[in-house]
Amino acid sequence: MSHVMNTYGRLPVAFSHGEGVHIFDTDGKRYLDALAGIAVSTLGHNHPDLVKALAEQAGRVLHTSNLYRIPAQEALADRLAELSGMDEVFFANSGCEANEAAIKLARYYGHKRGIAQPAIVVMEQAFHGRTLATLSATGNRKVQAGFEPLVPGFVRVPFDDLSAIEQVAKTNHDVVAVMLEPIQGEGGIRAAHLDYLKAVRALCDAHEWLLILDEVQCGVGRTGKWFAHQWAGIQPDVMTLAKGLGSGVPIGAALTAGRAKGVFGPGNHGSTFGGNPLACTAALTTLDVMTRDGLLENASARGAQLREELARALDGVAGVTEIRGDGLMIGVVLDRPCGALVGQALEAGLLINVTAEQVIRLLPPLTFSVADVTALVDTLAPLIRKFLSA
């Protein structure tokens, strides 16, 4: 028996090495990676620029702590500010930690304004992480059950429904922020309408609330813009990032602007590892390669190709409800639970995921080529047809 705690239902496969969009198991079998470790491996596997940058950094210094200035962290904060228009960056090591920072910051913002019991509006089907505060913000009972008492201070509303937030605004004077994913990832690749995002921005402004956007999954180029909210032409007060930012090296970030800027000062928050030289080098290299190689444009183009080819290959197949998503964040919605497809795809040499029980989730590296998309569809579409006809 393994001594690894049994917190995941794991597939019986282990990987030994990767090469671009492919990864090899310990028996030498090759897989096309259409999941990228859940939107993490932005540049695919063993990217030569990333390998070189990490080796060089490891050969100089890995860690110094935030008790000192960290040049790579400063450079990364500058770069993220330039790409997002945000002002300040707090570095963490994961998505839930970035969200914890955002939640703490919203509460602190409320207290500074004399609100003793600040509340944050959160969404149904949301996923914000597994720590106590972030699981409390998450809109999924399965994530919460058994961990009560939940952290108080969250008010839940239906996603993509402006009037529900307006209703809360009328009755609850403790609200300090609205927190949402522009595209819900774990919740089933559900995108908020751009008009809704704009209206929530305006509502937050009218009430002097913070707009907190969790872009842990949909950010960092995945949808074809650096950040998903940029499609709506809005700017959040807080944005959180993680997953794809370090292309496999753990890093999270909470960025502030507008009325969230300057809320935290020394002593309000911290992290031993957050923003260490190795992680920041990984993120800087990821952003550099994305820029140099046009990976935003590629995410848009390959995403469009993938949706088109999937739609063609699955045309008229009963049981396929919808193909949705933006860029390389795609959900194929079936009319029934389809978790079994993950193992069948694995067998066929393809890594995919199923979320929200009946949504096949595709989150390939942003380096996917035209031929990779076609290979993905050629493998996946017949599996879906077979699964639905069984």
What is the contact surface with ligand PLP in residues (CB under 6 A)?
94-96, 99, 127-129, 181, 185-186, 214, 216-217, 242-243
Return d(Cα 227, Cα 215) in angstroms, integer: 7
Q: Report whether 335 belongs to an annotated binding site.
A: no
Distances (CA, A) of 170 to 74, 157, 197, 241, 300: 42, 14, 19, 31, 40
Backbone torsion region of residue 88, taken as left when φ is above 0, otherwise alpha when ψ lies between -120 and 50, otherwise beta: beta
> Which one-letter DSSP state was computed for residue 12?
S
Half-sphere exposure of 360 (CA within 13 A, CB side): 32
Which residue out of 127, 227, 264, 368 is catalytically annotated?
Answer: 127
- Identify the active-site residue in 214, 237, 326, 372: 214
Residue with Cβ nearer ligand PLP (201 or 243): 243
215 annotated to a ligand binding site: yes
The values of phi and psi at residue 45, to 5°, are -105, 145
**Catalytic-labelled residue, pool 154, 243, 326, 368:** 243
Q: How far is the CB of 274 from ligand PLP (least distance, A)?
A: 13
Q: Is 25 a catalytic residue?
A: no
- Known binder of ligand: residue 130? yes
In the complex, least distance from residue 38 CB atom to ligand PLP, rounded to whole angstroms: 7
Do residues 314 and 323 touch, judged by C-beta distance below 8 A?
yes
How many CB atoms are closer than 10 A to CB 165? 23
Please check if 367 is assigned to a binding site. no
For residue 190, say whether it is annotated as part of any ligand binding site. Answer: no
In the complex, least distance from residue 93 CB atom to ligand PLP, rounded to whole angstroms:
8
| Nearest distance, CB of residue 244 and ligand PLP, angstroms | 10
To the nearest whole angstrom, how small is the minimum distance from the Cβ of residue 298 to ligand PLP? Answer: 21
Nearest approach, Cβ of residue 19 and ligand PLP (Å): 25
Q: What is the DSSP string of 126-145?
A: ----SSHHHHHHSS-HHHHT
Only one residue has tokens 């920041």, namely: 280
Query: Is residue 243 among the annotated active site residues?
Result: yes
Query: Is 264 annotated as contributing to ligand binding?
Result: no
**H or E stretch at 147:** none
Q: Are the C-beta atoms of residues 54 and 278 closer than 8 Å to each other?
A: yes
Closest residue to bound ligand PLP by CB:
95
57 versus 99: smaller Cβ distance to ligand PLP: 99
Strand intervals (E) in the chain: 15-19, 22-25, 30-33, 88-92, 119-123, 154-157, 175-180, 183-184, 190-191, 210-214, 238-241, 252-256, 320-326, 329-334, 350-351, 353-355, 359-362
**Comparison of 181 and 372: residue with beta carbon closer to ligand PLP:** 181
Q: How many whole angstroms separate alpha carbon 356 and alpha carbon 262?
A: 37
Q: Quick one: CA dihedral 6, 7, 10, 16, positive or negative?
A: negative
The torsion angles phi and psi of 238, rounded to 5 degrees, stand at -135, 135
Q: Is there a binding annotation on residue 271?
A: yes
Q: Which is nearer to ligand PLP, 129 or 139 (CB)?
A: 129
214 is catalytic: yes
User: Which CB atom, from 216 or from 249, has the smaller least distance to ligand PLP?
Assistant: 216
Is 45 or 243 the residue whose CB approaches ligand PLP more closely?
243
Give the residue among 227, 246, 263, 218 at the shortest CA–CA distance from 88: 263
Which positions are catalytic? 127, 214, 243
| Binding-site residues from annotation for pyridoxal 5'-phosphate | 127, 214-217, 272
